[in-house]
Amino acid sequence: MMVGQVSWCGFVGLAATIFSCVAAAATERNPSLEATTEDHCTVGQEAACAGSAAADMPVRWRGKTYNDSRGRSIYGGDHTVETFARVGFEGPVEDDEWDMLFTHHLMGRALRERSPLPERQGRLVNHCQYFLAAGDKCKLARHIARVEDSLQEEYTSAYAGSPPLDSPRFLRTFELGNALQNAAWQEAMKAEPDRHWVIKPCIAGQSDGIDLIRGRDFKADRDQPHGRTVAQEFVERPFLGFGGRKFHLRLYVLVTRWDPPGIFIHDEGMLFRSERTYDKDRPSRQHDIFSGISKEVRPYAFAALWSELGELQARLVRDRIVALLAQVMGRAVDITFGDPRSLDERGYSCFDLFGADVILDENLQPFLMEINQGPDLWVDGRGAANEALQRGLKGPLLQQLAHWVALRVKAARHGTVNAREIENEALLNYTRVL
């Protein structure tokens, strides 16, 4: 499959094993990744040579946040530090003379309070608070409602109101702090009393505070959720063709820019599969809702699923996932989050690395469950047996991201940024969504 100029090739299982060689070769053949040390200046050219040398200085990165009094660690720990060092980055630094700020915390407000930062061409900031649906399920529900409205207008205009057969689909989600949506949810439960709903706090992680409610069992005076929560349709008939167990996919989504959008999925990702047999008639909050590795949840690389599905079905699933994320991250974004051109006024460029959780139903239709603000870049702490898998996945992901940053920053220093060319050169194991 080819989307744009970058293809999703993870299903062949080679991305993690070949990239260390690819990254090394890319660094060797690309002089923009290395500092210029030769002196070819002649009399009268000293200023130009000094400017060129400054443009080719190593990229400096900072991992410490500007609003953290608790001294939280670098995102991804030593593995992140080691990966960036291999690409030639200097750091992590703790001063303001950085080219990339890389954290898993929102940085927009903190940087405004820190302003003005020293001027530095090509600065890049991860998580600068634009696409706020990542990490906030209430905001994601509102955004997807706008996406669906926009799609319905298009379907009405082009298809007489009926969506194309293979168009993206979304889980019904109600924001329960909104009285109208809460009432609509209760009506939906009355209409389908045997359907289950997942109750989620809008801001939480690791399945904290989640509940599973069946419509006929709900009592408003007893079970009404409090605080900022959503009720999301539970996929009762998931695809079980991968070992007969329930699973979902963690996609690593890189946004290189928002205007115009540059959206990518890393070709390899993490699959979380329950070790317990799934019973669609008696789904369990304890065993059937999970977000990461545990004693009862085993991780796999996507390549294992693609191999199980076979090439044709794997291609179908990947195409459907790309189409789904293209709508969520490319449609109505300016309506929900504002004009992305305003990001240019901040004095730095924004990029994002998210984790999108997707589940397949029995027809191999993908459904987006949530988008995580941080996709979890740590490789240790989950058992020695899982560390090799995580290094094989997250190493190439970070190395190519760092390669892209280095090219982007140095091109900006030279005043010659061609965003799409840089993306195509650096993001070899990413699929372009937009």
Tens digits of per-residue pLDDT, 6-59?
456 544 343 333 334 334 444 443 444 443 333 444 445 554 444 556 678 999
- Write the pLDDT tens digit of every residue in 360-394: 999 999 999 999 998 999 999 888 889 999 999 99
* 291 pLDDT higher than 90: no
Can you give the residue ranges of every domain in the chain? 1-133+143-158+242-434
- Write the pLDDT tens digit of every residue in 180-230: 999 999 999 999 999 999 999 999 766 668 999 999 999 887 888 888 999
Give the mean pLDDT of 306-324. 97
pLDDT for residue 69: 58
Give the mean pLDDT of 262-276. 97
How far is the C-alpha of 386 from the C-alpha of 390, rounded, in Å? 6
Instruction: Out of 52-66, 289-303, 367-381, 413-427, pick the least confident.
Output: 52-66
pLDDT for residue 135: 94
- Write the pLDDT tens digit of every residue in 273-288: 999 999 998 998 888 9
For helices 311-330 and 137-159, give the axis angle rounded to 10 degrees.
100
Kind of pairing between the strands at 173-175 and 100-101? unpaired
393: buried, middle or exposed (CB in 10 Å: 19+, 13-18, 0-12)?
buried
Confidence of residue 113 (pLDDT cuts 50, 70, 90): confident
Per the model's pLDDT, the better-predicted residue between 3 and 215 turns out to be 215
Instruction: Out of 36-45, 139-148, 231-240, pick the least confident.
Output: 36-45
> What average pLDDT does the structure give for the chain?
87
pLDDT for residue 161: 74
pLDDT for residue 158: 85
Give the mean pLDDT of 348-358. 96
Instruction: Out of 42-46, 56-60, 138-142, 343-347, pick the least confident.
Output: 42-46
Q: Two tokens at 234? A: 């539970």
pTM of the predicted model as reported, rounded to 2 decimal places: 0.88
